[in-house]
Amino acid sequence: MEPSTLETVLTAVAAGRLTVAEALDRLKPPEVRWDHDRRRRRGFSETVLGTGKTFDQVLEAVETARERPVLVTRVDPAWGPELERRVPDAVHHPVARAVTVGPLPPVRTGPPVAIVTAGTADRPVAEEARLTLRVAGIPTEVVYDVGVAGIHRLFGVLDTLRRARVVICIAGMEGALPGVVAALLAVPVIGVPTSVGLGAHAGGFAPLLTMLNSCAEGLAVVNIDNGFGAARLAQLIWQTAAPPEEA
Amino acid sequence: MEPSTLETVLTAVAAGRLTVAEALDRLKPPEVRWDHDRRRRRGFSETVLGTGKTFDQVLEAVETARERPVLVTRVDPAWGPELERRVPDAVHHPVARAVTVGPLPPVRTGPPVAIVTAGTADRPVAEEARLTLRVAGIPTEVVYDVGVAGIHRLFGVLDTLRRARVVICIAGMEGALPGVVAALLAVPVIGVPTSVGLGAHAGGFAPLLTMLNSCAEGLAVVNIDNGFGAARLAQLIWQTAAPPEEA
Amino acid sequence: MEPSTLETVLTAVAAGRLTVAEALDRLKPPEVRWDHDRRRRRGFSETVLGTGKTFDQVLEAVETARERPVLVTRVDPAWGPELERRVPDAVHHPVARAVTVGPLPPVRTGPPVAIVTAGTADRPVAEEARLTLRVAGIPTEVVYDVGVAGIHRLFGVLDTLRRARVVICIAGMEGALPGVVAALLAVPVIGVPTSVGLGAHAGGFAPLLTMLNSCAEGLAVVNIDNGFGAARLAQLIWQTAAPPEEA
Amino acid sequence: MEPSTLETVLTAVAAGRLTVAEALDRLKPPEVRWDHDRRRRRGFSETVLGTGKTFDQVLEAVETARERPVLVTRVDPAWGPELERRVPDAVHHPVARAVTVGPLPPVRTGPPVAIVTAGTADRPVAEEARLTLRVAGIPTEVVYDVGVAGIHRLFGVLDTLRRARVVICIAGMEGALPGVVAALLAVPVIGVPTSVGLGAHAGGFAPLLTMLNSCAEGLAVVNIDNGFGAARLAQLIWQTAAPPEEA
Amino acid sequence: MEPSTLETVLTAVAAGRLTVAEALDRLKPPEVRWDHDRRRRRGFSETVLGTGKTFDQVLEAVETARERPVLVTRVDPAWGPELERRVPDAVHHPVARAVTVGPLPPVRTGPPVAIVTAGTADRPVAEEARLTLRVAGIPTEVVYDVGVAGIHRLFGVLDTLRRARVVICIAGMEGALPGVVAALLAVPVIGVPTSVGLGAHAGGFAPLLTMLNSCAEGLAVVNIDNGFGAARLAQLIWQTAAPPEEA
Amino acid sequence: MEPSTLETVLTAVAAGRLTVAEALDRLKPPEVRWDHDRRRRRGFSETVLGTGKTFDQVLEAVETARERPVLVTRVDPAWGPELERRVPDAVHHPVARAVTVGPLPPVRTGPPVAIVTAGTADRPVAEEARLTLRVAGIPTEVVYDVGVAGIHRLFGVLDTLRRARVVICIAGMEGALPGVVAALLAVPVIGVPTSVGLGAHAGGFAPLLTMLNSCAEGLAVVNIDNGFGAARLAQLIWQTAAPPEEA
Amino acid sequence: MEPSTLETVLTAVAAGRLTVAEALDRLKPPEVRWDHDRRRRRGFSETVLGTGKTFDQVLEAVETARERPVLVTRVDPAWGPELERRVPDAVHHPVARAVTVGPLPPVRTGPPVAIVTAGTADRPVAEEARLTLRVAGIPTEVVYDVGVAGIHRLFGVLDTLRRARVVICIAGMEGALPGVVAALLAVPVIGVPTSVGLGAHAGGFAPLLTMLNSCAEGLAVVNIDNGFGAARLAQLIWQTAAPPEEA
Amino acid sequence: MEPSTLETVLTAVAAGRLTVAEALDRLKPPEVRWDHDRRRRRGFSETVLGTGKTFDQVLEAVETARERPVLVTRVDPAWGPELERRVPDAVHHPVARAVTVGPLPPVRTGPPVAIVTAGTADRPVAEEARLTLRVAGIPTEVVYDVGVAGIHRLFGVLDTLRRARVVICIAGMEGALPGVVAALLAVPVIGVPTSVGLGAHAGGFAPLLTMLNSCAEGLAVVNIDNGFGAARLAQLIWQTAAPPEEA
C-alpha cells in the first residue's frame, strides 16, 4: 500500500471523518488489479475470467475497467441475467457462457478465421471462440459436426477451410480431427481438445494428447475447452497479415 | 507335488540310486507348466512369451512342448541364432522378434486379414502379427505407411482393406489411423497402439487412449505393441466365418 | 455454406419475404450433420449420442434422421419421457439409458451374442449393449453376476457361452472376468470395463488396464462403460459369418 | 498390391527370369510411402523422422525422395557420418540431430522468427527448429539462456523479440518462460516444453502443463522437445503475411 | 482404554447408577484426541481441520480444547453461523472458510509476512493464510492479483515484498508467479499452488509441478490450496529471527 | 437359461396361464446370483455391496439370501430406514454406512483385532471394519485419532495394540501411521488408506502409495476406504490361530 | 554425535595420537545405523536392502551386524561373488538376487507358506520370498506357472494351496491370479504384483491396481516385486498360530 | 545481437581481417548467459547445473563466471577429473556429484542446519545439500539413516535436531520421516523426497506426495532429489536470523 494513502486515511480517522470500519474497508487491498497496459502491449485489452471469482469480484472488475467493450468469460449461468440488470450495455451470451459489455467494433475485412467442430456437443467452446473474435473485430465462419467417423463430411467443407486465414479445430472424444484437418491445409491450424467424452477420456486429456502427438506438422495446441485462448492465438496470427494499425 | 513322486524319489535315495543333489533337482517344482489343453479349448496351442524369461526357461519350454509348430515371441536378439543352433527346425524371424519351431501349416483360402501400419517404424509389430497368423495358417496382406498426415495414401489402399475379412491397424504417434479406417469399412477393425512416438507420447498411452476414445463405432483395441494379441483376435474372428474344422 | 443457399436467402430478404432475423436463423450453420452414408459404408446407420448435447440438439438430430429406427444413447433420465411425448414411435429404455424411435427389425437367426456381467451393478452397460444389438436385429442372450469371486458360477453358464458366436463380457472392480472367460472359449470375446468400483478403481481405469494386460490371448477391449461400442463390434464380427445381405 | 505388378512378377518367375527369392523380394510391400503431394497441399515437402526407423529405412526414404532438399530429423548420432558417406550432398548437423540432403534455398527477407531458450541445455531443440526454418528459407534469430530465474536477462533481449514476426520459446524445468514472453508481446508465441529437468519434471510433462495452463492469452503449444513441429507452425504463420508465391 | 475407567463404569452399572446404554456410551472410545503438548513442542497449539469431520466432531473438538484461541479451518459454510450460536467467542470468517474461538493475541512488531496472489480467485487461500498468522500474532501484508500475464503489476509491489521477512506466494492456473517472485528476492518464498484453473489444470497439480520444478533457487512448496500450512511454515521461519520467547 | 425352465414357461403361455408380459418377466435373467457356497469354501457368507446397485437389486439380494445374518455395505443413507421398514430384523448402522439383517453371532474370546485411526474423520471406515468383524463374531478394540503429527499419542496406546492379534490401521492425509505402527509391533498390521485429505491427496492415492512403499516390513495393504476388506483379511488371519471349528 | 566421542578424538589429536585426517574420518557421521532392537520388538532382525547403496555401504552393514544370519536383498549381480569372497559364511543366491551370511536356523514344523506364481518369469520374486522365509525358519512350498490363461492348472494344485497356512500369490501381466486364488481358499492370501509385463502394464501398476480392486474379500497386497515384504507379512501371520517362543 | 557488434564484425570481414567462418563464429549467439546480478539481488551467485549441458558448455560457464567460488552441480562422473585438470582450483566432490572452483569462504558461527536422512542410500542428496551450504559458509551437521522403521533411532538424535536453526530431512521409499520430524520440532523443516525406492515408488513421486500431504504443520517441500534447492532454502531461512551483512 502506498504510505500516502495510509496517511490520508489515518488523518481522516483522526478527524472523525471516517469510522474505524470505513477506514479498514478503504485500507483493504484491492482484489482486482487491471492490466490497463495490455492493449498497448499486446493489441487487446484484458478479459475478465469468471472461474473461481465471486459475483461481486466480477462486478467490481467490470465496473473498474477503463475500456469498452469488456469480455467476461466462463460466467455462471445465473450471473448473466444479473449482470444484464446491473451493468449498462451488458449482453449475456449463454451458449458461449460469456457476457459482453459495451458496443462491439465493426468486423474487419479479410479471409475469416474458420471454426470447425468435430461434434455437436463442442458448440459452447466454438461459441466462446467465435464471440472472442467478434469482440476483437475479426471475421469468422463456423462449421459444426464434421468428425472423422464420417470423414466425407470434412471433404464437403474443405473449400471453406481453404479460404480461411487461420483454422480453429475443436474436438472431444479422441480428438483426431485437428490432425486430419491440418494435414490437408496450408494455413495454421489451432487444435482445441474438449472435455466432451466418455470413459477413458480423462476429462479431455485423451484428445489433448492426441493433438500434441499428431503426426501432422505444424498443429498449434491450446488447453482443454479453451475456446477463448484459441481465439486470441488466431487473432494474433490473423493480424500478422493485417496489423491492427491497418484497420 | 504329487505324494507318489516324492515317494519314488525318496525310495531311490534310500536305495542309493540317487544322490541327495540329484534328488533335490528332481523334486524342485517345474518352472514351466504347459497348457496342453489349449488347442482343444481355444483352437490354438500355447505360445512361449520371451519377456522376463531366461534363455534356459525358453529352451525348456520349447523342448517340453508336445506340439509343432511352436511360436516363441519377444525373443532377445541374441537368443534367435542360439535357438536355431540348439533346436531342430527352429527359425529366427528377427524383424518380428520371434522364433518358430517346426513346419508351418498350409495357408488357408479365404479373404485375408489385412495388416496396415501408419508408419514405417511400426513394422516390427506388424511382422509379429503377420507371423502369428502365418503360423495359424490364416492368409494376410500387409500395407505399410499410410498415416493420416497424408490421408490420400489411405484412400489408395482402401480397396485392399475392403477385400479383407478383418483389418489389423497399427499406429504409434497420435494413433488416429484405426479410427479413420474403421469409419470407412464394414468389417471388424483391430487397433494396435505402438510405442513409437516422441515427447508426450507416454510410451504408447497416447495412441492407446486415442483408439479407446474413437468416435468410430466398433473398433477393437489391444495392448500397446501387442501384434501377437491382435493376430489371435483376428484369427478368432476370421474363424467365425470359417471354423477350423472346415480347413 | 453453399453460395447458392446464401443467394436464395439474400434474395428473399431483398424481396421482403424474410426478415433479417429470419435470414440470420436460416444462415446459421447446422449443428447436427447426419452421416447419411453410414449404412451403405459400414452396415449400420448413425446413432445419436446424448452426451454433451442439449435436449434441442438431440431432438433436431432425431427429427432430421432419414432412417428408422434411430437409436439415441446416453439420454438424460428426464429426456426419455419428453422424447416419448414429442416424437412419434419413440420408446424410452431407462435401464439402458437410451431411446429408440421407430419399429425394430426382426431378430435374425443364428448363434446369439452372449452378454455376461461380473456384477449386478454392471446391468446398465449390459442393457445398452443388448438394446444396440436388438436394434440391429442380432440375437442376444444375457447372463448376470458371474464374477470371479465365486468362479463356480461362471462354470455353471459356460455352456451358454460356448453356444454363442461372440461374447461381450462386462466387468467393473478389478475386471478379471473377461480374461478368465476368454481363456475358456474358442470364440471372440469383447471386454468392457465399467466405472463400477471403489477406492483405487480410478473411474474404470483399473479394470481397463486389467483387460488390456490380460494374458488370455485374443481379448478385444473397448472403452469404459461402452456397451454401445462393444455391441457394434460384436455386430461386425457376427456378420462376418452371416453378412447382412443374407438376412 | 497392384494385380498387374503381381502378374508381371509371376510371369517372370514362370519364364525363369526371376528366382522365387527374387520374386518374394519384389512382391514385399514397400516400407516407405512418400507423400509426394505434400508440397502442393501444405507448402512444404515431407520430412523423414528417424525415430523408430532402421538405418536402411532412413536410407531408402532419402533415396526415393523426389525433391531436394530433404530434411531428416532425430537421426542416431552414428548415422550422420554414414549418411554423409553414402548420400551425395548429405550434411550432418549434430547439435540439431538432423541431416539435410541437397542445396538449401536462399533465405527470404522479412522479420525473422525469433527462437529463444530458457536454458543452455535447450539448445538441441532450438537448433532443430532453426534448421527446419533454414531449410524452408525462413529467416531466424536465436537467443539463448534467458530463463525467468534472472528475468532481467529477458528484458535485455525484448527488443529483439519485438522485431520478430513469430517467436518460438523453448523451456524445460518448470517452463514458465513462454507465458512470460507471450504476455509482453503482440506477436504469436509458440511454446516448446523440453525434457530437460530433474525430479518431478516427468519427462517434460511439467513444463508442458505449465504452458497449456498459462494465463498469458494466445500461447500456442507443441509437443515436448518438438523443435521441428514448432518450426513448421512458425513457417505457416510467417507465410500468412508473406505467402510462398510472393517469394 | 484405561482398566480403571472400565472398572468404575462396571461398578456403576452393577450398582444400578448407570443403564447399559449409558455405560456403552461412556465406554466408547473418544473420537477426538487433542495434542495438548503441541504448544510446548512446536510453538503453536493444535488446529481443528474441518475436512471429513461431522459437525458434532468439530463441536466436540472445540469444547474439549484446553487453550484459547482455537482455530478451525475448512468449515462447511453452514457450520460457521451454527458455531457462532453455540460456542461463546466463536467468530466465523467466511472468505477464509474458518472459525476462531476466543480472543486473538496482539500482533507482534517486525517485518511482516507478505501474502501475494496471482489472481483474484486465489483470495480464499490467501485469507486462510492471513487469518492463521493473525491468530499466531504474526504481522502480515496482503497484495492481490499480480499474475505474470501483466508482469509490470508485480514490479509495482516489489518494494512491499522486499520489506517482508517471508513471502507467501499463491497462484493457480500455471503457477509461475512464485518462481518469478523468488528469483527477485533475498528472503524465503513459500509457493502455494491453488485449485483455481481450467482444462489440463488437473485440480492444481499443474501449478504444483510448476513450483516444484522452478529454476528459481530456494522456493518452498506446500500442498494445493494449503494456505494454513504455508502460514505455519511462514510463522516458523519468522520466529527464526524473533523467537516466541522474545515477544 | 435352463431349457427346462423355458419349456415350462412356453407351455404355460400356450395354455393361457401366463400372458406374454408375465412370461417375459419370468424369462429375464436373474440379476443377483448368490454365491451360496462361500461359507463352506471361505469361512464366511457372501456380502451385499451397495455400490452401483439400485434399491430393488439390494432388496432382491437380501430377500434371496439363504443365511442370516446378512451384511449390506455402502448403503445409500436413504436406503437404511427403508430397509429397516421392509425387511424384518434389518438394522441400519449409519456411521458404518451398512445394514445388518438377522441376529448377530456371539463374540468369540481371544485377543481382539485392534482398529486404530490416524484422524477423527477416518471413523466411517473404522466402523465398517468393526461392524464386519462383529458380524463374524471376532472381538475388536477401537482407538481413534493417534496420527503421527502428535506421535506421543500413539505411544500412549501402544500397549493396547500389543495385546491385539491383528491390527487394522486406518489413515488418510499422507498415510504414514500404518508404517510407524507396524515398525513397533510383532503382529500383522493391515493398512487402510482413506479418501480423507486435501490438495494433492488424489482421492486417497497419496496414502495408498505411502503404505505400499513403507520401509516397515510386513505391512498388508488394502484398497482405499476398504474397511470391509481389511476386516475380512483380519478375520482370516485371526482364524489362523483360532479356526472357526474351534468356536 | 556424542560430546564424549568428540572430546576423546580432540584429546587424541591434541596429543598427536591422531592426525587431522584420521580425526575427521572418525568424526564423520556413521552411514549405516543398525536397528539392533528389531528382533526383540518385531520378531526378526533388520535386513540389508541393496537398492541405492554402494558396495562399501553394504559391506559395512554386513560387518557391523551383531546377529547371524544376515539377509542382504536386491544385490547387484556383481556383488554376490565379491561378498562371498570377502565375508566368511556369505552365500550368494543369484535367482533371488540375495546374499545370506551365517548358518540358517532349522525349518520349523507346521503347515507351509505356499508360494504360487502366475508365470515362469515371476520366479525371482518367488525366490526372494522363499529365501526370506527360509532364513526365518518358516516352511514353504512353491508352485510355478499356474496363470488364469489356463485356469485348470490352478485347480490341479488347489489341494496344495488348501494345506497351506498362508498363501503368497505372485503375478505380473494383468495380475488376476491372486483374486481368483483368494476366492477359493479360507486362508489369508498375499498378492504380489510384478513388473513382468508389456505395453500398458505401467511397470507393475496394472497388476497392482487389479489386486487392490479385487472383488475377492480379504486379499492382502504388497508393493510391486516385493517378495521380501510378502514373506515378512506371511511370517507374521504364520506366527499368529505358532509364536516364535514355541519353536 | 547488438547492431554495433554486427557492424564491427562485418567491417572486419570486409577488410579481410576476419574470414567468413571466423565471422560466423563470432556472430553466433552466446550459449551461456550469466546472471551476474544474482548476488546483489538474492544473496548468492548463480550456480552451474550440469544436467542437459555438454562438457564444453559447463566449461564455458565456469570460465566466464566473474566470481569465485563457483558451484557446479549434477556433474557427469567423468567430468569431475577433467574439470580438475583443466580449471585451476577446481575440486571434484564425487558423492555430491559436484565440483567447486575457487577457495571456499569461512564457515559462519551460529546454530547449524541439520541434515538428516532416512536411509543410507540417500547420502548423495545429503552431500549435495551439505556442500551447497558449505560453499555459502553456513554451518551444518549431518545425521544418516534414522528412518521410521526403527523410530527409536530418531529419538536418539532429537537433541541434535533441536539445536539446529533449520532442518533438512531427506527420505526416499514412503518418505514419512520429514513429517514425523517436523511434528517434533519448533524450527522450520525442509522435506526432500528422493528417487531411492522400489516398485510403486514412481521415481520419487510416492515420497513427494507423502510430504505434501503431511499432517505435520509447516513442512516445506522441494523437488525430488533436490539437495541443492533444499540447501538454498535453508540458507535463506538461516539468514533470516543472521543476515549476510552481519557475517
pLDDT tier at B35 (50, 70, 90 boundaries)? confident
* Contact check, Cβ <8 Å, C225/A197: no
- The whole-angstrom separation of Cα D199 and Cα D204 is 11
pLDDT at res. G208: 98
Interatomic CA distance for residues A188 and D220, integer angstroms? 11
**Cross-chain residue pair B223–G199, CB shorter than 8 Å:** yes
CA F186 vs. chain centroid, Å, equals 25
Inter-chain residue contact F150 with E226, CB threshold 8 Å: no
Nearest 5°: phi and psi at F177? -60, -45
Buried/exposed H32-51: b ≥16 CB within 10 Å, e otherwise: bbbbbebeeebbbbbbbbbb
Chain E hits for H217, Cβ within 8 Å: 42, 44, 47, 228-229, 232
Give the CA radius of gyration of chain C.
22
Q: Check pLDDT > 70 for residue E219.
A: yes
Longest CA–CA span in chain C (Å) reads 78
pLDDT for res E116: 96
> Given this model, what pLDDT does residue C22 score?
72
Q: Per residue in F157-185, is it b (16+ CB within 10 Å) or e — as a string?
A: beebbeebbbbbbbbbbbbbbbbbbbbbb
How far is it, in rounded angstroms, from Cα A212 to Cα B202?
A: 11
The answer to whether B120 touches B91, Cβ cutoff 8 Å, is no
Q: Is the pLDDT of residue H6 over 70?
A: no
Using an 8 Å CB-CB cutoff, list chain F residues near C144.
29-33
Distances (CA, A) of F197 to E49, F143, H165, H213: 10, 20, 30, 8
- Residues of chain G in contact with residue B57, where contact means CB-CB under 8 angstroms, are 120-121, 123
Mutate to test the interface with H, among D145, D152, D174 (most CBs of H within 10 A): D145
The shortest C-alpha distance from F35 to chain C (Å) reads 6
Q: Nearest 5°: phi and psi at C240?
A: -60, -40
Confidence tier at A35 by pLDDT (50, 70, 90): confident
pLDDT (0 to 100) of residue D2 = 52
C147/G202 touch (CB, cutoff 8 Å), yes or no: no
**Is the pLDDT reported for residue B247 higher than 70?**
no
Distances (CA, A) of H114 to H140, H166, H217: 6, 6, 19
CB contact (8 A) between residue H220 and residue E220: yes
Q: Which chains touch G (3 or more CB pairs under 8 A)?
A: B, C, F, H
> Whole-angstrom distance between the N-terminal and C-terminal Cα of chain F?
41
Residue C61 grid coordinates: 438430430
- Residues in chain D with CB shorter than 8 Å from the CB of E174 are 176, 179, 209-215
Judging contacts by C-beta atoms under 8 Å, the chain A residues touching residue B118 are 215
C247 contacts chain B (CB < 8 A) = no
Q: E223 touching F, CB under 8 A?
A: yes
Non-local (6+) Cβ contacts of F17 within 8 A are none
pLDDT band (50, 70, 90) for residue G177: very high
Count of C-beta atoms within a 10 Å radius of residue G4: 8
Residue E160 near chain A (CB below 8 Å): yes
**H121 has a chain G CB within 8 A of its CB:** yes
- H2 CA to chain E: closest CA distance, Å? 25
Q: For chain H, give the mean pLDDT.
A: 90
Would the CB atoms of B187 and C236 count as touching at under 8 Å?
yes
Q: How far apart are CA G112 and CA G237, in angstroms?
A: 12
The alpha-carbon gap from E173 to the nearest alpha carbon of chain H, in Å, equals 19
Q: Residue for cell digits 517469394?
A: D247
pTM of the model: 0.93
Does domain H113-241 fall under CATH 1.10.3730.10? My reply is no
Asked if F190 is an interface residue toward chain G (Cβ–Cβ < 8 A), one would say yes
Name subunits touching D (3+ CB pairs < 8 A).
A, B, E, H
Contact between residue E50 and residue E72 where contact means Cβ atoms under 8 Å apart? yes
Which residues are CB-contacts of B7 (< 8 A; sequence separation ≥ 6)?
none
Grid cell listed for E126:
490467501
Alpha-carbon distance of D185 to D163, in angstroms, equals 10
| DSSP state, residue A47 | -
Q: What integer is the mean pLDDT of D2-16?
A: 68
Residues in chain C closer than 8 A to F51 (CB atoms)? 121, 196-198
Q: In this complex, is the C-beta atom of C149 within 8 Å of any C-beta atom belonging to chain G?
A: yes
CA–CA distance, B190 with B219 (Å, rounded to integer)? 6
CA distance D121 to D191: 16
Rounded CA gap, G213 and F223, in Å? 6
C-alpha Rg value of chain E to the nearest Å: 22
Contact E119 A223 (CB under 8 A): no
Counting as contact any 3 or more CB pairs under 8 A, the partners of H are: D, E, F, G
- How confident is residue H125, by pLDDT bands cut at 50, 70 and 90? very high
Contacts of B among chains (3+ CB pairs under 8 A): A, C, D, G
Looking at residue G149, its pLDDT comes to 85
Please judge whether F212 and H200 are an interchain contact, meaning their C-beta atoms are less than 8 angstroms apart.
yes
H and F in touch (3+ CB pairs within 8 angstroms): yes
CA nearest neighbour of F167 among F185, F144, F190, F186: F190
The CB-side HSE value for C245 (13 A sphere, CA atoms) comes to: 4
Single-letter amino acid, residue G176: A
Asked if D151 lies within 8 A of E214 by C-beta distance, the reply is no
The DSSP letter of residue D185 is -
**H206 interface with E at CB cutoff 8 Å:** no
Mean pLDDT along residues G16-22: 74
The most confident of D141-155, E15-29, G38-52, H184-198, by mean pLDDT: H184-198
Q: Does G74 touch chain H (CB under 8 A)?
A: yes
Pick from C187, C224, C235: CB nearest B218: C235
In order, the DSSP letters of F126-167 are HHHHHHHHHHTT--EEEE----GGGTHHHHHTHHHHHH-SEE
Question: What is C141-166 written as a DSSP string?
Answer: EEE----GGGTHHHHHTHHHHHT-SE
pLDDT at residue F246 in the model = 42
Chain D hits for A220, CB-CB cut-off 8 Å, are: 190, 220-222, 233
pLDDT score at A37: 85
pLDDT of residue D245: 60
- pLDDT value, residue A11: 75
Q: Which residues of chain F have pLDDT under 70?
A: 1-7, 20-21, 24-25, 27, 245-247
Which residue from B minimizes the CA distance to C42? B186
CB contact under 8 A, D229 and A218: yes
pLDDT of residue H37: 85
**Given an 8 Å threshold on Cβ–Cβ distance, is C213 in contact with G205?**
no
Q: What is the pLDDT of residues E28-59, one digit of tens each?
A: 777 788 888 888 889 888 899 999 999 999 99
Query: Domain-by-domain residue ranges, chain H?
Result: 1-30, 33-101, 113-241
Least confident among C95-99, C239-243, E165-169, G167-171: C239-243
Predicted local confidence at residue F230, as pLDDT: 98
pLDDT at B66 over 90: no
Burial of B73 (0-12, 13-18, 19+ CB in 10 A): buried
The verdict on a CB contact (< 8 Å) between A195 and E199 is yes
Q: F108-125, pLDDT tens digit by residue? A: 999 999 999 999 999 999
Q: Report the residue from C220, C235, C240 with minimal CB separation from B233.
A: C220
- Mark whether G and E touch (3+ CB pairs within 8 Å): no
Percent of chain G with pLDDT over 70: 93
The type of residue at E114 is: A
Looking at the predicted structure, is the pLDDT value of residue G96 above 50?
yes
pLDDT, tens digit, 9 for 90 and up, residues H162-171 = 999 999 999 9
| DSSP H or E segment with residue E230 | helix E227-241
Chain-chain contact of A52 with E119 (C-beta, under 8 angstroms): yes
Q: Under 8 Å CB-to-CB from F245, ≥6 apart: which residues? A: none
SS3 content of chain A, % helix, strand, coil (to 5): 45, 15, 40
